[in-house]
Amino acid sequence: MKKIEGPNDLKKFRQEDLEPICKELRQYIIDVVSVKGGHFGASLGVVELTVALHYIFNTPYDQLVWDVGHQAYGHKILTGRRKNFPTNRIYKGISGFPKRQESEFDTFGVGHSSTSISAALGMAVASEYKNEKDRQHIAVIGDGALTAGMAFEGLNHAGFVNSNLLVILNDNCMSIDPNVGALKEYLTDITTSHTYNKVKDEVWNLLGKLSKFGKNAQEIVSKVENGIKGTLLKQSNLFESLNFRYFGPVDGHDVVHLSKILKDLKDIPGPKILHCVTVKGKGYKPAEIDQTKWHAPGLFDKITGEIIKSVPKEPQSPKYQDVFGHTLVELAEKNSKIMGVTPAMPSGSSMNIMMKAMPERAFDVGIAEQHAVTFSAGLATQGLLPFCNIYSTFMQRAYDQVIHDVALQNLNVVFCLDRGGVAGADGPTHHGAFDIAYMRCVPNMIVSAPMNEEELRDLMYTASQKNKGPFAIRYPRGQGVMQDWKTQFKEIPVGTGRMLREGQDIAILSIGHIGNYVVDACNELEQSGVYPAHFDMRFAKPLDEKLLHQVFSKYNKVITIEDGCIIGGIGSGIVEFMTDKGYYSKVKRLGIPDRFIDHGSQLELHKECGYDTESIVRTVNKMVGSRESLKVG
Ligand SMILES: Cc1ncc(C[n+]2csc(CCOP(=O)(O)OP(=O)(O)O)c2C)c(N)n1
């Protein structure tokens, strides 16, 4: 594999060399991910597919689009990034997802799911328009990603325009958690159906001979098709009915067979789908057995398969997601109207706690954020109270549903937005940068963020009270700050903040967990004789106007800070208040600047954006004009 700097080098090998190459590639992924972290099972599951695709197709001229992109490590390694692969997901290193700026082989930037068919179809239509008839377009999509509406929108369009598109369905029966839904049942059905498989074998026998027929290939394929249609008249194929030619199911781990099939499919024009059956985590036993855990396991001992958890000396605070999961069950035990909804993130959001405790009241609806929101709206019309948990970044997809289906009808839906703020190593596709801004401008919407576990519980409790309307609670990835977090529930009056520290020189207004940096910064500043006041706003909407009147009456220097985009965020809201009410103070807004922030640890990115503890101290010093800041410059 060391000789492979790109697909052209791969093409020099004989077919019999492909298996050993797959073995080496798989081992390299295991070697690196075990010590550097990242997504794991998905890339192992497509090693053979990746090798076969680059072996047969003329990438990057032929355009290969990976869906989600968490499975594209093999692709990165084979396309010139083998040496850089150990920097995967590390600050300033290569991205964990395909990225156009990174390589010409990364034809489309991904991270969010279910975009591949639409993107590849766009490319196919463009090729047709430019008369590039020899160009191939391939979308590789998982059975999980296929559950999203957008994937169907793509299929629907592709079957109609008849462009040259190959969809490869990587069917491993898994999303991050086990895949759910009727489509999954259907795929299992066609994979295991005896009639279907018998006919399939006949098709493959014929296809095996295809290359020999050259120009007549098309004719043969239609004969075969008619054969299938005749035999399976009653058992119609979903993809066939959408005007795709369906091939498969095939063993996605037989690299030689896959290469032969892909070669034959090159000669078949129009939309076609190849159904590959694979095993997520293939080739690494622990990952094959517990596929959810090994989706992104963190560091591990590759020999023993033990996941390495650093054992901290002191007891740790819980993750916000777990506080959410346990608190939801606690609330639901007391309030029979509460329901749980997650679009394919039971483990990631800890909704699995409620799904286990109350299976009839908590739903994984598949990778379907739009549906999750409108489904929640439907529940709410019937007097139920859904807690719809969606990562901040994925909620972007359901924005119209939030406005049109929930807010406009002022329905009681609680949106718990996990991973609000910079997400870390997943990078710009996953940062929860925009939710405060995009929620704040929606009428009827309450927008809140807790600074710690107790506030998260109290906000959830508050949101569960009667007729609050749409209520968003956003919290970050990772741990909170309280070890004893199972506090008594208290209702927080909507639109009220709290003063955490009185001060003299300047006021700092924070929202959310990031307020803990401010606490540290204020402690440090106090040592040098600077006394900022600190307010935890709790609500970005409605803003605590009483509190803001006090702030702007007393302080002519104000800093706002949020782990979210500066444009349109709470800082903007506070400045709007200031101008509307005729105050004038010098205000510095800290938050994510108006650009996309790459990947790195959360702390590295907070630093880069200028709102880690150190940066807050620096900003305060600069604004109050302390000697410290004069010294610095
Ligand atoms: C819009 C969106 N929602 C949720 C996710 C989180 N997510 C990442 S991978 C994944 C599962 C994908 O399953 P599948 O497509 O079958 O690929 P596999 O991991 O099984 O290879 C999910 C839900 C996402 N990336 N994008």
Most confident by average pLDDT, 18-27, 175-184, 203-212:
18-27
Decide whether any atom of ligand 1 lies within 6 Å of the 82 Cβ.
no
Q: Is 369 a catalytic residue?
A: yes
**Ligand 1 pocket: which of 113, 114, 369 to mutate (most atoms within 8 A of CB):** 113
**Among 18, 92, 1, 88, which Cα is nearest to 55's?**
18
Task: Convert 206-222 to b/e letters by CB count within 10 Å (16 or more is b).
Answer: bbeebeeeeeebeeebe
Say how far apart CA 114 and CA 120 lie, in whole Å.
11
φ/ψ of 589, rounded to 5, equals -100, 120
The percentage of residues in the chain with a pLDDT greater than 90, rounded to a whole number, is: 88
Q: What does the pLDDT look like over 461-498, one tens digit per residue?
A: 999 999 999 999 999 999 999 999 999 999 999 999 99
- What's the rounded mean pLDDT across residues 122-148? 97
Cβ-based neighbours of 326, under 8 Å, separated by 6 or more: 350, 353, 486
Say how far apart CA 197 and CA 371 lie, in whole Å.
33
Say how far apart CA 382 and CA 217 lie, in whole Å.
56
Say how far apart CA 361 and CA 386 lie, in whole Å.
9
Q: Are 287 and 267 in contact (CB under 8 A)?
A: no
**Ligand 1 pocket: which of 29, 66, 68, 293 to mutate (most atoms within 8 A of CB):** 68
User: Which residue in 48, 369, 454, 604 is the catalytic one?
Assistant: 369
Q: Are 264 and 210 in contact (CB under 8 A)?
A: yes
Give 192's pLDDT tier (boundaries 50, 70, 90). confident
pLDDT of residue 203: 59
Helices (H), 530-601: 545-554, 570-580
CA 277, 281, 282, 285 dihedral sign is negative
What is the chain's mean pLDDT, rounded? Answer: 93
Say how far apart CA 454 and CA 544 lie, in whole Å.
20
Alpha-carbon distance values, 31 to 39, 234, 284, 342, 406 (Å): 13, 49, 11, 33, 47
pLDDT above 80 (res 63): yes
Ligand 1 atom closest to the CA of 45, numbered from 1 = 21
pLDDT of residue 218: 61
Decide whether any atom of ligand 1 lies within 6 Å of the 280 Cβ.
yes
pLDDT of residue 560: 98
Q: Work out whether strand 506-510 and strand 471-474 pair parallel, antiparallel, or are unpaired.
A: unpaired
Q: Are 74 and 59 in contact (CB under 8 A)?
A: no
Decide whether any atom of ligand 1 lies within 6 Å of the 72 Cβ.
no
Q: Is 330 a catalytic residue?
A: no
User: Which residue in 319, 397, 440, 538 is the catalytic one?
Assistant: 397
Q: What does the pLDDT look like over 239-297, one tens digit per residue?
A: 999 999 999 999 999 999 999 999 999 999 999 999 999 999 999 999 999 999 999 99
pLDDT of residue 11: 97
Decide whether any atom of ligand 1 lies within 6 Å of the 49 Cβ.
no
Q: Is 588 a catalytic residue?
A: no
Type of residue found at 251: D
- What's the rounded mean pLDDT across residues 358-374? 98
pLDDT of residue 229: 55
Ligand 1 atom closest to the CA of 348, numbered from 1 = 6
- What's the rounded mean pLDDT across residues 223-236? 56
Please give the residue that has the higher pLDDT: either 350 or 219.
350
Q: What does the pLDDT look like over 495-545, one tens digit per residue?
A: 999 999 999 989 999 999 999 999 999 999 999 999 999 999 999 999 999
pLDDT of residue 225: 60
pLDDT of residue 196: 61
Ligand 1 atom closest to the CA of 114, numbered from 1 = 1
Dump strand ranges (E) for 308-424.
338-342, 362-364, 385-391, 414-418
**Cα dihedral 450/452/454/455 (nearest 10):** -10
Q: Cβ of 19: how many Cβ atoms within 10 Å? A: 15
Q: Cβ of 293: how many Cβ atoms within 10 Å? A: 16
Say how far apart CA 373 and CA 253 lie, in whole Å.
37
Q: What does the pLDDT look like over 367-419, one tens digit per residue?
A: 999 999 999 999 999 999 999 999 999 999 999 999 999 999 999 999 999 99
Decide whether any atom of ligand 1 lies within 6 Å of the 355 Cβ.
no
pLDDT above 80 (res 234): no
Ligand 1 atom closest to the CA of 171, numbered from 1 = 16
372 three-state secondary structure: helix
pLDDT of residue 209: 54
Decide whether any atom of ligand 1 lies within 6 Å of the 368 Cβ.
no
pLDDT of residue 217: 63
Decide whether any atom of ligand 1 lies within 6 Å of the 42 Cβ.
yes
pLDDT of residue 628: 44
